[in-house]
Structure 1
Amino acid sequence: MEYLSLPPGRLTTSMAALNCGVQPATIRDWVRRGLLARCGGTPKRPIYRLEDVERARYAVKPSRPGQRADRVA
């Protein structure tokens, strides 16, 4: 169940993923890696600030051993 209404500038995990063009699992990974912080909601239905989502979207992602290289178009 999604929220019926959110304050302006707030996004659910699904909305944040759509905004960034990634999967919801990527948004959860950004949270786990400390690139994005929740600003409310519940543990199962977090809410994020649009500004924080945009900052995480363009943040330099640390590389890990065995991680796939970014594709350059």
Structure 2
Amino acid sequence: MEYLALPPGQLTTSTAALACGVQPATIRDWVRRGLLARAGGTPKRPIYRVTDVLAARDAPKPTRSGQRASDHVA
């Protein structure tokens, strides 16, 4: 069950994924990796700020486990 109405500027995991063009599992991964913080909701139904979601989408991501994006040499 999704929320019936959210405050303006807030997204569920599903809507955040749609906004970024990724799967919901990616949003949960960004939270686990510290790129995105929950703004409320419940443990099973978190909500996120639009600005935080977009910042996480645009943040540099490591290409391999333990590798920083700035360490990658093309």
User: Which consecutive aligned stretches of 4+ in structure 1 deviate over 6 angstroms post-superposition?
Assistant: none
List alignment gaps of at least 5 residues for structure 1.
66-73
- What CA RMSD, in Å, does the superposition of the two structures yield over aligned residues? 1.3
Aligned length: 66
State TM-score, norm by structure 2: 0.85
Deviates more, 1:56-65 or 1:4-13: 56-65
State TM-score, norm by structure 1: 0.86
**Secondary structure of 1:48's match?**
strand
List alignment gaps of at least 5 residues for structure 2.
66-74
The residue aligned with 2:7 is 7
Identity of aligned residues (%): 80
Letter in structure 2 aligned against 1:46 = P
Give the Å deviation of 1:63: 3.1
